[in-house]
Structure 1
Amino acid sequence: MSLLTNPLFIIVYWIFCYELALLCMYGRINHTVSILFVSTIFLISIITFSIMKMMKGKELEPKSLINMKAWKYVSIVMFMIITVFYGVKIYKSATNFGGELAWFIDRLKNEASVEFEHNNIYMDGVEGIFKDINKEYALPKKLYMESDFHLEFNQEGTITSFDTFVYGKNADGEEESYLITYDQNKTSTITVRLNGHLNTDYDEEKLVEPLIRTVKVIPIKQTVGMWNEHTYGLVYYWKRNWGYNTEGIINMDENGMKQTPTKTTSEIIGYTVSIFVPGKEKEIIPARYNLLGEPEWSQSNTTQYQDEFEGNRQEIPNTDEQFYLSKEVGYRLDVMDKALGSTFYSLRKTIDGGENWVVINQNPFNGTVGSAAGITFINEELGFLRAARPSGTEGVLYRTNDGGISFEEVSYAMQEMKLDSGQSINPFDFPGLPFEKDGVLNMLVGQGSDGDYNGNSSGLYQSNDNGETWEYIKEVESK
């Protein structure tokens, strides 16, 4: 009671709780940490002094103050109010990701550091990365990629950074995911984050194994030795369709023998590992290696787009970044830069089957987007680009009517749908690429990665003016 009725204790305790709540909400702010440290020392000193006085049988405060019943009640109430008020704030900062404390707890539960020993790309390839992680976690034998694998290294082959998001099923059939990052400038260890949210489709075209096996046989050191730069990059976007473009394409077998095609009569498709100079992709053509070995890895392949509301099918090139209108005329999106989850692209065109490419638009998306999610041209004037926002939960469509010289964002009315509860939602927010049928443009607008309305159905839209305006027709069930 003597301690609680000490005004100095109440004041310092108030300051301590206030600064502690700030720390839990916003993290290590230098000013906050300093004040919190000083107030903690003061509290310890006051408590220590009070205990020593009590042990000696001395009163802590003048009798006139201790005997004031009103002050006793006021001090106790103040102590309780301060404790409850800031206790609630600290609790909120620790739950539902309401503050830095929640993120700190989440990192303790789901994030770990792994010693990075196999850190030379020339000697260890990328297999060394997974070997190091496997020492701490038993990775699934069959891994799939949720995002691309991007790595940078220096002239000596020392890996300076990489990031990827992979998943698979463990020996018990349970699904596991791993967000893997490393930055030499920030840490000497690999950061592995578990239990992340992802969309698991177990698509065989997104296997990790081709990346590991390809890097084993390609001559990385010799390749970058021709460029004489300080920093190099390696990127793997799983299976890619290069159309009829042979620029930079190098086919490798598992014995390290390579073939550089100069002309092809069929589309080039494979699990491509690209070696490049960051920021100089236009001046120095990346070396794009496709490993020949497994027959299904390098076969010509197309996907079938299903006209779901009629049941008809038509073949289109299997790529999000390249489209050929004919064997001679093609369009390609090239990555120019990446920053904070967004990507800059340029648009190129070829009229000779991919032998020569010309940049026709330095910024087709009019800024940054999360990632390109499709390209198509109805004719040499009318075309569309699709992009995914960084969150992956919604998309945006762009239209050109001058052959790609300029693009404008396509607008369409969000269709309101009623739930059984009576609530109204707008689930269709991820437009697909338009396609022509009987002189009318059709577009299926899906729900993105967060879609769960009615089995992830889509909305069918149609346009009679070459995609300038769109009208909602009906809901199309997912098949």
Structure 2
Amino acid sequence: MKKYKKITKNQLTLSIINCCVFVLVYFVFFYELNILCKYGRVGKITNILFGCLVFFIVWLIMLVTRLVKRPKNTLAEEEEKGEEYSRIKNKFTLIAVILAICVTGFYGTKIYHSGTKYNGKLAWYLEELKNKRLANFQHDNIYKDGIEGIIQDVNEKVHMPKKLYMVNNFTMKFDSNGKILSLDTFLYGKNDKGQLQTYLISYDRNKSDKIIIYLNGYAKPDYNKDKLLEPFFTLMKKAPLKKTVSNWSEKAYSINYHGRKSFSSNVIYLDSKGKIIENSDMNYKMVGYTLSVFVPEKLNEYQPVRYSLIEGANKEIVEPYNEENSHEETNSSEKFYLSKKVGYRLEVVAAAAGSRSYALEKTTDRVNWTTINQDPFNGDIGIASGITFLDSKLGFLGLSFSGGSRGELYRTNDGGISYKKVDFTSIKKDASFDLPTMPYKKGGKLYVLIGKGSDGDKTKELYQSTDEGVTWKYIKDVP
């Protein structure tokens, strides 16, 4: 009897240790899985997860083996069993089950959260799985294949409508032989059922030989004919692109199709047959579908050349120009006018996966724009959430991420030539307030409201600066 009780006690001890180890490994597995889904740190985490899975498999095999090989006890042996040990074992087993359920519920909720609203790496993975397409890039020479070649390759993977509009611009980089090095554009149109379809298209030869297409992106479709893509095809056929870039003797060149737009300098006006239209009367502004050709990062060294398609369907848009009948432009999240003529705007230079990179441009006559900062956000990408200048030197930019759920504020004190990120981390009262608005000046001091973004309520925190935005301090909550 004593021997049997000793055996039973040893079995109980092993069972308790088994339960504790199982719960510990189960916790580690879900903890690391949550980190993986949230941040996507693959290396070390995947090794830990693999080790946990091996443990679960071995544990399951041992459990099944014990159940199969366990001898059937006689009634007398059953009576001899230590009832107290059995109760203790059952309690520990129940505790282990409850802990496992709690771990599953707690981290399961976190993992689910990481898979929604771009709250984690899992959400981006699911988004790509659903909307990302890869197309073989066969027609990759801009001289030989034109824009039609790109559209043809994309249509091999996704069927796009014939009538397409741009959200912003169509940018492309190519070498002296016409080989396309990169391209970015965001297109939309109506499918056969009249439903909106969007296509975020990008290509980078240094990263992949495939064209990347993201479907079902966010766009504000106004179907403005100024942003039609089709005139781009005609422009590329009629504009002497190869001859233009041959004058620069560089390794890479860029083109930017703006849609219908006006420029007052370095513009060559073309009719539908490719003939040059003279515009000697400077009292007139000619507006057409415009293509800019330039050397990237050498805008100060080489003046961009622009080709504008005027004839045909666009002939009626030639109009008298003077300040009285020019259309006043209002400030927005991507454009700000400091005075009647001086303005700043953020121009999209690349787009991918719902995020964009920008260049900062300036105008002193509301017509001609010059790039003054190729990368004002210092490598960060997202969606511009605001731009403002309080004087000719001091200004701020906003960049939002994760669908507008959070963002950053950037400050310049040299008129936009350089920007630095404003750090609110150390002074925040509540970390959930993470989407700053544009600062404003009142009584010689600067103020900024920081909200919770698209994933929070409308409450904001008010901060104040007495040194032109270098440092800030919390003032109060604003409903």
Residue matched to 2:300: 282
Whether 1:28 and 2:41 are equivalent positions in the alignment is: yes
Superposition deviation, residue 186 in structure 1 = 2.4
Gaps of 5+ in 2: 1-11, 73-80, 351-355, 405-413, 417-436, 439-453, 455-479
Q: Which amino acid aligns with 2:358?
A: S
Q: Deviations over 1:307-331 (max 9, x none)?
A: xxxxxxx6215889999x99xxx87
After TM superposition, the structure 1 = structure 2 runs for residues 74-113 of structure 1, keeping only pairs within 5 Å, are 74-113=95-134
Residue matched to 1:114: 135
Residue matched to 1:308: none
Whether the 8 Å CA contact 2:283–2:321 is kept in 1: the answer is no
Whether 1:190 and 2:236 are equivalent positions in the alignment is: no
Whether 1:345 and 2:366 are equivalent positions in the alignment is: no
Q: Deviations over 1:103-159 (max 9, x none)?
A: 222222222222222111111112211111122222122111111111111222221
CA separation of 1:96 and 1:371: change in aligned 2, threshold 3 A: closer
TM-score, normalised with respect to structure 2: 0.64
Secondary structure at 2:168 match in 1: coil
CA separation of 1:66 and 1:80: change in aligned 2, threshold 3 A: farther
Q: Give the Cα–Cα distance (whole angstroms) in 2 for the partners of residues 278 and 371 of structure 1.
A: 26
Alignment match of 1:316 (pick from 326, 348, 357): 326
Residue matched to 1:423: none
Secondary structure at 2:254 match in 1: strand
Alignment match of 2:26 (pick from 13, 20, 26): 13
Q: What number of residue pairs does the alignment pair up?
A: 368
Superposition deviation, residue 91 in structure 1 = 1.6
CA separation of 1:295 and 1:56: change in aligned 2, threshold 3 A: same
Q: Give the Cα–Cα distance (whole angstroms) in 2 for the partners of residues 54 and 335 of structure 1.
A: 69
After TM superposition, the structure 1 = structure 2 runs for residues 391-406 of structure 1, keeping only pairs within 5 Å, are none
Give 4+ residue runs of structure 1 displaced > 6 Å after superposition. 1-4, 63-67, 302-305, 318-323, 330-337, 366-369, 371-374
Q: Deviations over 1:57-81 (max 9, x none)?
A: 489xxx9987623222222222222
Whether the 8 Å CA contact 2:336–2:387 is kept in 1: the answer is no
Alignment match of 1:204 (pick from 216, 221, 225): 225
Q: Give the Cα–Cα distance (whole angstroms) in 2 for the partners of residues 3 and 269 of structure 1.
A: 81
Whether the 8 Å CA contact 1:5–1:66 is kept in 2: the answer is no
Residue matched to 2:318: 300
Whether the 8 Å CA contact 1:116–1:132 is kept in 2: the answer is yes
CA separation of 1:335 and 1:261: change in aligned 2, threshold 3 A: farther
Q: Give the Cα–Cα distance (whole angstroms) in 2 for the partners of residues 47 and 125 of structure 1.
A: 61
Whether the 8 Å CA contact 1:246–1:261 is kept in 2: the answer is no
Q: Give the Cα–Cα distance (whole angstroms) in 2 for the partners of residues 322 and 99 of structure 1.
A: 33
Residue matched to 2:289: 271
Whether the 8 Å CA contact 2:19–2:92 is kept in 1: the answer is no
Q: Give the Cα–Cα distance (whole angstroms) in 1 for the partners of residues 173 and 224 of structure 2.
A: 26
Q: Which amino acid aligns with 1:106?
A: E
Superposition deviation, residue 163 in structure 1 = 1.2
Residue matched to 1:250: 268
Residue matched to 1:41: 54
Q: Give the Cα–Cα distance (whole angstroms) in 1 for the partners of residues 179 and 71 of structure 2.
A: 68
Secondary structure at 2:285 match in 1: coil
Q: Give the Cα–Cα distance (whole angstroms) in 2 for the partners of residues 223 and 9 of structure 1.
A: 70
Superposition deviation, residue 218 in structure 1 = 1.9
Whether the 8 Å CA contact 2:165–2:223 is kept in 1: the answer is yes
Q: Give the Cα–Cα distance (whole angstroms) in 2 for the partners of residues 319 and 222 of structure 1.
A: 36
Q: Which amino acid aligns with 1:206?
A: K
Superposition deviation, residue 24 in structure 1 = 1.2
CA separation of 1:371 and 1:81: change in aligned 2, threshold 3 A: closer
Secondary structure at 2:187 match in 1: strand
Whether the 8 Å CA contact 1:271–1:290 is kept in 2: the answer is yes
Whether 1:224 and 2:245 are equivalent positions in the alignment is: yes
Q: Which amino acid aligns with 2:200?
A: L
Superposition deviation, residue 348 in structure 1 = 5.3
More helix by share: 2
Q: Which amino acid aligns with 1:221?
A: K
After TM superposition, the structure 1 = structure 2 runs for residues 136-155 of structure 1, keeping only pairs within 5 Å, are 136-155=157-176
Q: Which amino acid aligns with 2:325?
A: E
CA separation of 1:362 and 1:123: change in aligned 2, threshold 3 A: closer
Q: Give the Cα–Cα distance (whole angstroms) in 1 for the partners of residues 273 and 282 of structure 2.
A: 23
Structure 1, 110-119 or 268-277: larger mean CA deviation: 110-119
Q: Deviations over 1:402-435 (max 9, x none)?
A: xxx979xxxxxxxxxxxxxxxxxxxxx99xxxxx
Q: Deviations over 1:228-274 (max 9, x none)?
A: 111111101111112xx342x12234444445756644112111111
Structure 1, 168-177 or 273-282: larger mean CA deviation: 168-177
Q: Give the Cα–Cα distance (whole angstroms) in 1 for the partners of residues 24 and 262 of structure 2.
A: 68
CA separation of 1:115 and 1:338: change in aligned 2, threshold 3 A: closer
Whether the 8 Å CA contact 2:348–2:357 is kept in 1: the answer is no
Superposition deviation, residue 10 in structure 1 = 2.4
Larger Rg: 2
Q: Give the Cα–Cα distance (whole angstroms) in 2 for the partners of residues 94 and 101 of structure 1.
A: 5
CA separation of 1:105 and 1:370: change in aligned 2, threshold 3 A: closer
Whether the 8 Å CA contact 2:143–2:242 is kept in 1: the answer is yes
Whether the 8 Å CA contact 1:290–1:298 is kept in 2: the answer is no
Superposition deviation, residue 164 in structure 1 = 1.2
CA separation of 1:271 and 1:174: change in aligned 2, threshold 3 A: same
Q: Give the Cα–Cα distance (whole angstroms) in 2 for the partners of residues 303 and 146 of structure 1.
A: 27
Whether the 8 Å CA contact 2:134–2:210 is kept in 1: the answer is yes
Superposition deviation, residue 216 in structure 1 = 2.1
Q: Give the Cα–Cα distance (whole angstroms) in 2 for the partners of residues 80 and 159 of structure 1.
A: 54
Superposition deviation, residue 19 in structure 1 = 0.8
